[in-house]
A = this chain, B = another copy of it.
């Protein structure tokens, strides 16, 4: 029988054995307190003179931060213990030492913490963030699986570039060159024709030589694609999806979000429908506060911030200028200078978390644009086949996991949103 701290409520009055690590230690003459960490939670373990075995009481001072320890004791309710239950210790045993643990309860700089990421993960805050991340991933899967989507993962090694060639990681693939995937979208267009509603969920890579609080070199993305969906169906799917993720995370990970100091009143209103702005409407709003914005350009982070602080819900911007969008984006037949694209900007200045839209289904238009974008048309013959043989309207989007985690947790920097962040200049540990 294995006991975990998160289950102690079921064992009140019983004697249990816990295994974990010494998270914190303090004591007075007659009472010593060990805060034990076992991965599922924290528990106050009380070593009391006369109640605990003498040897354990005497050896309390041998405990050090993060040493491994086995504790036997009786569970009782105690509102001052981190999880609401404490252990009255019968005895404990140190299973492995920990001398001069590098991360103390003092402040450390980000570089030091990143170099010790493998240990930093044990901290209260990182523990909570990664639990929220795991819940978000689980919610994403359940949303799509529950609606009949088929998970059809895209390859990582790709023969061609999808989102522009400047930020590609190249690798030798035996006698050829291959690139690491920047998006699974083109492949999802093929599987959407086979399965109707599909998604992929995996890591993607962009070799961006920039250090910002919103960029990772390696980040996870979920990309649904639906046959016969147009731009408006796509926005409807995206808003239902985001509502589901946010509301489920609030429901299932309230303790963790509260531990992170997240203001839940900012997340609770995230319910459909979300406001929608045509690019032209969005530009009108931006120009009032940023007179230097050039009409026709993509939004910078400050422009996104202007927009998303205007609403208490995430806001769609659709119909971005065709000229600034990828080759596969469908142009609106009624106003071809605008594309059937949509981005979703998160609240509180977090900016873009979703990008997507309706894909070009005309063979001729696509061939023309591949050439205009100076891409090699022979790399895209398979993709053009999807228009040669039973072309179909279809739409999809990509949601970046780390930006979503940062938003829901209320974090300043994406480096805390993934177990082992890869940033410009950092691939260790």
Contact = CB atoms under 8 A, between A and B. Distances in A.
Contacts of A196: 4, 38-40
A68 B156 contact: no
B390 A68 contact: yes
Instruction: Give chain A's interface secondary structure class.
Output: mixed
Contacts of A122: 193-194
A32 to B, nearest CB: 19
A375 interface: no
A134 B174 CA distance: 30
Contacts of A428: 159, 382
Contact of A39 (B134, B195, B386): B195
Interface string A13-35: 00000010110000000000000
Contacts of A39: 192-197, 227
Interface stretch (A303-311, A315-323, A414-422): A414-422
Given A174-B425, A385-B119, A187 B155 contact: no
A367 interface: no
Interface string A161-193: 000000001111111101010000001001111
Contact of A157 (B121, B187, B427): B427
A203 interface: yes
B194 A126 contact: yes
A121 to B, nearest CB: 4
A327 interface: no
B191 A121 contact: yes
B174 A152 contact: no
Given A39-B196, A66-B389, A392-B95, A153 B187 contact: no
Contacts of A102: 389
B119 A207 contact: no
A312 interface: no
A183 to B, nearest CB: 14
Contacts of A425: 174-175
Given A98-B389, A392-B68, A155 B422 contact: yes
A228 B2 contact: yes
Contact of A150 (B119, B131, B217): B131
A298 interface: no
A391 interface: yes
A391 B145 CA distance: 39
A327 to B, nearest CB: 17
A209 interface: yes
Contacts of A422: 155-157
Contact of A138 (B145, B205, B419): B145
Given A118-B190, A121-B190, A228-B19, A148 B6 contact: yes
18 contacts: A21-B392, A22-B390, A40-B148, A96-B390, A96-B392, A121-B190, A121-B195, A122-B193, A134-B145, A141-B141, A153-B203, A153-B220, A154-B419, A169-B171, A170-B171, A171-B171, A203-B203, A382-B429
Interface of A: 2, 4, 6, 19, 21-22, 38-40, 66-68, 95-99, 101-102, 116-119, 121-122, 126-127, 130-131, 133-134, 137-138, 141, 145, 148, 150-159, 169-176, 178, 180, 187, 190-197, 202-203, 205, 207, 209, 217-218, 220, 227-228, 361, 382-383, 385-386, 388-392, 418-420, 422, 424-425, 427-429
Query: Which 7 residue pairs are nearest across A and B when measured between Cβ atoms?
Result: A39-B196, A382-B429, A121-B194, A96-B391, A118-B190, A155-B420, A134-B151
